[in-house]
Chains A and B, each alone.
Chain A
Amino acid sequence: MNLGELASDLKLEEEELSELFDLFLKTASPELIELQSALIGKNAWSAERMAHSIKGAAGILGLMEIHDAAKRIEMAARMNRLEEVEVDLRVIKKKLETIDEALKGRS
């Protein structure tokens, strides 16, 4: 993941973008944990809302892979088909890790 490229895509300074990503990680990570425990606890309602929130923030930052995965989880949760979300959950987790590494690599 190249932050510089993405920053220029979004027409932002690299510095600014990393601040936004940092903030995104800080809000999305606990939401992801909550999402996981909602899935384990079969709490579709809570899962839906967590996914919705992650999706919104990812969309704003142009993180379309996370956005799309979160969107599928949100839909599945609404239909109460929690068993379908395993793959998407892993996508989100992986992507968040990548962002985390990219941010660490910078500093």
Chain B
Amino acid sequence: MKKKILVVDNHPVVLKFMSQLLEKEGHQALTAEDGLSALEILKTFTPDVIFIDLIMPHIGGEKLCQIIRKVPSLKEVYLIILSAIAAEQEIDYASFGANACIAKGSLDKMAKHVLAALEQANQETGVLHPPKTIGIEDVYARNITSELLSVKKHFEIILNSMAEGILEITPEGKIVYTNPKAISLINQTEDQLLALDFTGLFLESDRQGIKDHLMEIHLTLQPIAVNGPLMLNGKQVALHLLPVIDESQRSIIVILTDVSEQKRMEAQLIQAQKMEAIGTLAGGIAHDFNNLLMVVQGNVSLMLLDVNSAHPHYEMLRMIEKQVLSGSKLTAQLLGYARKGRYALRPIYLNQLVTDTSEAFGRTRKNITIHQDLAKNLFTCEADQGQIEQVLMNLFVNAADAMPEGGDFFLRTANVNFSEIKGRGYIPKPGEYVLLTVTDTGVGMDSKTIDRIFDPFFTTKELGRGTGLGLASTYGIVKGHGGYIEVESEKGRGSTFKLYLPASGKPAQQTVKSSAPISKAIGTVLLVDDEEVILDVSEKVLKVLGYKVLVARGGVEAIEIFKKHQDSIDLVLLDIIMPHMGGGEVFDRLKEVSPEVKVLLSSGYSIDGEASKIMARGCDGFIQKPFDIMQLSQSIRAILR
């Protein structure tokens, strides 16, 4: 019976011999030099029998059989393996779907076996023959192939354990080999991948570029690195394309590296650097603004002393004072974001702060119902009370803005261990934490908004309503306190913010806010600042308060004056940021001259923790610029009392 036959073998002599033999027997025989071209032929040609060489470039015999068996129209084809290694190795050809196997030997013997196998194909109807290789007894040259086999296995083991995806593709881009890592990276089965167009794995927009690279490599035979990165199966990958020149064929080895994680880290780093830069800038601006506001505030305070409420300028001066206050709130946000302005760390009791702040807040937003669930025995945390108040206000105001028609507002506190803070993008430092959960029933946010809420100046509110600094400063302050902040929200489903602050073992200290009226004071103050306007206004304010004032225009001058007049000086009002000699050094020198010296620090900000460092060295107090006459009076009295 005349048959349609395909012979696949990489040696032209075998192909020639087979077609001679088969045609002599009256069959129609086509030939292919490797698995890939065989698949190409099989697109239009449906043979009755296929002879397949086991070891071939561009998709070997075993793979080819497996692929053929998956094609519905080729299910019935009789597959005969031609193998030079059959003698050394038991080939379980049935397992990859072949019907028979012939050991390659010299032509005369092979001819006999080929015809016998065809005869067998005639008789069998789809039933698999018990695996027995025909013609093993006629084979020579056993030892070498068996060694070759172990070499092949060795390479296979290496390729299988590579952390990179490795593919071999033809110059046209057809995949002919993949290692397991490539299979898992691309997330398709080996059968699906083999003979597939490599460029087709990538996004439409990337394909032409990859084709160009393949073309280039074909021409230059130089390796190419594509660091793109390119998107592949939802991952970012880098490609290395290496030309392989074989005696008979050209192909390209593709090394696929998953760089998603690396790219994510890079992006994070860039983001962090950007934030750092903005932070430094914001902190600097805040500092200069505070000094400027200080001068305005000081002068307004002085003028208000001279006018009574009936005076035509009285209301205007009050207005200026109010604006200065708004201005200093803004600079406080900037400082918070810059993680600066943390002056006085002391153990505070968060429950107390939450209750006080929410009470004050509740009075302004009557249509919001506040629910509190505060843990008993809550740990204290070491924090700057002013900054934590600022954080709470930011969260409260945002929640209120999210509920313009009113709604419910939940405040919860709890003690948690760091081990309960899991599955986040960060790994919390070991220890105990105090958790504050703030939940509103407002408009919520989509994920795009959530991604950006901590960015400075990000706001969805109309111009004039929001500056986009609230959460940026909240984030900065929480970070500055060694804590963490998280957000959960969905559009239309309200929002929850979780704040983790490191717990402290120390008992909370109560602050007493004395409200002693301004009364004439006695004593001498040494005023140290580098800015003329500040010196000018501060001197006037101090004099109004009743103090004698000595003025120093910098650190060196301050120390000279102090040495001369130390017996009469009761207090030094010391700026921190000054050229040549900063407040920290001045403080230490003054202490050397007289350990009893009383010092009140003042600053528009401090380089992170500089103020707290000086405080830790025994400084008596700190006052944040801009301050008004009342605050200054109270701060000095608290020290001199």
Give chain A's interface residues, CB within 8 Å of chain B. 9-12, 16, 19-20, 23-24, 26-27, 31, 34, 46, 49-50, 52-53, 55-57, 59-62, 67, 71, 74-75, 78
Contact = CB atoms under 8 A, between A and B. Distances in A.
B111 A11 contact: yes
B141 A27 contact: no
Contact of B14 (A11, A31, A60): A60
Nearest to B111: A11
B45 interface: no
B11 interface: yes
A27 B10 CA distance: 12
B13 interface: yes
Contacts of A71: 141, 144
A46 B245 CA distance: 11
B89 interface: no
Interface of B: 11-14, 16-17, 20, 84, 104-108, 110-111, 140-141, 144, 147-148, 247
A75 B17 contact: no
A20 B11 CA distance: 11
B13 A61 contact: yes
27 contacts: A9-B108, A10-B106, A10-B108, A16-B20, A20-B13, A20-B16, A23-B12, A23-B13, A27-B11, A27-B12, A46-B247, A49-B247, A50-B247, A55-B144, A57-B13, A59-B106, A59-B141, A60-B104, A60-B107, A60-B110, A61-B13, A61-B106, A62-B107, A62-B108, A71-B141, A74-B144, A75-B144
Nearest 9 CB-CB pairs, A to B? A62-B106, A10-B108, A11-B108, A57-B13, A10-B107, A16-B20, A23-B16, A23-B13, A24-B13
A20 B110 CA distance: 15
Contacts of A9: 108
Nearest to A24: B13
Contacts of B12: 23, 26-27
Nearest to B246: A49
Contacts of A24: 13
A74 B145 CA distance: 11
Contacts of B104: 60
Given A10-B106, A23-B12, A61-B106, 16 more contacts: A10-B107, A12-B111, A19-B16, A20-B13, A20-B107, A23-B13, A23-B16, A27-B11, A27-B12, A31-B247, A53-B247, A55-B141, A60-B14, A61-B13, A61-B107, A78-B147
Contacts of A74: 144
A60 B13 contact: yes
B17 A20 contact: yes
A60 B106 contact: yes
Contacts of A27: 11-13
Contacts of A49: 247
Nearest to B84: A56
A57 B11 contact: yes
A19 B144 CA distance: 28
B141 A67 contact: yes
**Most chain B CB atoms below 10 A, which of A11, A34, A55:** A11
A12 B17 CA distance: 10
Contacts of A55: 141, 144
Contacts of B144: 52, 55, 71, 74-75
A55 B144 CA distance: 11
B100 to A, nearest CB: 19
Contacts of A26: 12
Given A10-B107, A75-B144, A60 B11 contact: yes
A57 B141 CA distance: 12
**Most chain A CB atoms below 10 A, which of B13, B14, B107, B147:** B13
B11 A19 contact: no
Contacts of B14: 60
Nearest to B107: A10
Contacts of B17: 20, 60
A52 B145 CA distance: 10
Contacts of B108: 9-12, 62
A74 B12 CA distance: 21
A80 B362 CA distance: 88
**Most chain B CB atoms below 10 A, which of A26, A55, A59, A61:** A59
Contacts of B140: 59
A34 B247 contact: yes
Nearest to A11: B108
A57 B15 CA distance: 11
A29 B424 CA distance: 66
B508 to A, nearest CB: 77
Contacts of A61: 13, 106-107
A59 B16 CA distance: 15
A55 B20 CA distance: 22
B421 to A, nearest CB: 56
B10 to A, nearest CB: 9
B158 to A, nearest CB: 16
Contacts of B105: 59-60
Contacts of A31: 247
A11 B111 CA distance: 9
A23 B31 CA distance: 15
